[in-house]
A and B are shown apart, each in its own frame.
Chain A
């Protein structure tokens, strides 16, 4: 998939360049808002990319992926509230807790398939949502304010708009690189093989569920990283981050951009969040347009935006 010049790759390359140069544009025009918006977009793109790893390549439709956003976020928020401000502690903890949670959820959920899998992942995310709502010491329903962003011993200043943006972008690119490496590794090929024909992979001697589980845990961990970024971005974390419609948003980003394509979720996140933002400036009833747009995309643009680009470059 690399090296070939086609519409999808050209778009991906342009996109990366534009994302990297964005702070220059923002500084030149004095448009700070666009930088804030794209910081948010980069974070959600990372979360959507992590969902794409299991959904697009592994065939596991997790409808509870926002749970890891919340878990990563709460790890940072709770540690900050307890006076541990160092990112060198906060972030590894956020990753470890997300990984652990993903391991538990994955081990139980992977006993089911199809719609049952969708529902059981949703159930676990709802449990996490209610646990967070009950943490009265840490804000409960109202959420937890993160008064101080993660401190990286002066190496990066997360309160600096540009530095934080580049940190988010670096995490996004790092995550995408990792996913690309995984998908093209032997391990990733087995996972994709299990998606298309589980019995055959079993027959060849692969323990299908073990591969699936490892993939699920990696995905949850990457999403936990996005959660840690999100808590730093909004200086706030609340149970609402984990509510099922949030998981729905992530799913929409993946399908909108193009499931099973590396840059699909990034494009999906950009289009979805930009659309939401633009529409909300014209009308307070953005759903009236956004909803039917989603419907039309499903009806007329199968394979999402990347699929559309792929057809354009072939046809």
Chain B
């Protein structure tokens, strides 16, 4: 029972982290109609920045904040220098260009930080287990990820639903020409949204950094998961991304934790030990395939253009 609660929390934490990544992706995709494969690179950069700045400053919080700012800046520069020329282009052009950026960032990181991965140690106050319900302890840092991500999600919701910028963002998602016609500086708006997306990816990366090794290509696997999420949720829909992210995070984590035992009950030992890792890795993709076959536009399609 405790194991189930713990894995459920792990799934929640992973799902929320995926949401941060997917939110930026779906915003950029939904509003600017831009497919950004380099989103995973921004996630990686967030992690590398954090590892560097935390080591420099000696403070986890300060380093993390600096990393967040650095990714935001990087996103804005990237948008300004290269990506803004690709809006309105074919999705394939965008895929090719941002695939090129992945190659660039991977080797840039290798040049600057070297081929070996980095570790980002946690400060002592974040390593203590916290008792969440009587008898159940949970690592403080993972709990913090859950809280930060929930806070960011709530903030994002408020900004998008309750502010003027958010209104423009939503208007942009459903009709891009219209907000331009209303005299809004659409270029600036797009730069801001892209920067926001980059910062969210960076935040996901820097928070994940102490749990995993910070390494080259770390964004590639998780980028695909983020794409899976925005496709399941319905492209351009923040709410869809949130639900789908939790769904994917929990199913993935629970699958990895419990599927092997479940399979062992129905299959022979050898067959189960072969099938279990494959099946638990495939679970998410299987889920996406089923959802898309049944609902080709995702679970929560954004308003029609």
A-to-B contact residues, CB < 8 Å = 55, 61, 63, 108, 111-116, 118-120, 122-124, 126-127, 130-131, 133-137, 244-245, 248, 251-252, 255-256, 259, 284-288, 290-295, 297-299, 302
Contacts and interface: CB of A to CB of B under 8 A. Distances in A.
B101 A134 contact: no
A287 B107 contact: yes
A284 B110 CA distance: 9
A134 to B, nearest CB: 3
Given A63-B95, A248-B95, 6 more contacts: A111-B292, A133-B277, A255-B96, A287-B104, A291-B105, A294-B97
A297 B220 CA distance: 23
Q: Is the interface of B mostly helix, strand, loop or mixed?
A: helix
B285 A288 contact: no
B100 A120 contact: no
27 contacts: A55-B92, A108-B289, A112-B296, A116-B235, A119-B227, A119-B292, A122-B224, A127-B285, A130-B277, A131-B278, A131-B282, A134-B274, A136-B273, A251-B95, A251-B99, A252-B99, A252-B100, A255-B93, A286-B107, A287-B103, A287-B106, A288-B104, A291-B100, A294-B99, A295-B104, A298-B89, A299-B82
B152 to A, nearest CB: 25
Contacts of B106: 287
Contacts of B111: 285, 288
B98 to A, nearest CB: 8
Interface string B78-115: 00001001100101111111011111111110110000
Shortest 7 CB-CB distances between A and B: which pairs?
Answer: A291-B104, A294-B100, A134-B278, A287-B107, A287-B103, A291-B103, A130-B281
Nearest to B38: A291
Contacts of A123: 228, 285, 288-289, 292
A84 B35 CA distance: 45
B274 A116 contact: no
B112 to A, nearest CB: 10
B220 A245 contact: yes
Contacts of A256: 96
A130 B227 CA distance: 18
Interface of B: 29, 35, 37, 82, 85-86, 89, 91-97, 99-108, 110-111, 220, 224, 227-228, 231, 235, 273-275, 277-278, 281-282, 285-286, 288-289, 292-293, 296-298
Contacts of A119: 227-228, 231, 288, 292
Given A115-B35, A126-B224, A298-B93, A290 B292 contact: no
Nearest to B81: A295
Q: Is the interface of A mostly helix, strand, loop or mixed?
A: helix
B220 A244 contact: yes
B292 A134 contact: no
Contacts of B293: 108, 111
A295 B107 contact: no
Which of A293, A294, A299 has the most chain B CB within a 10 Å cutoff? A294
Contacts of B227: 119, 122
Contact of B102 (A126, A251, A286, A291): A291
A276 B72 CA distance: 31
Contact of B96 (A124, A251, A285): A251
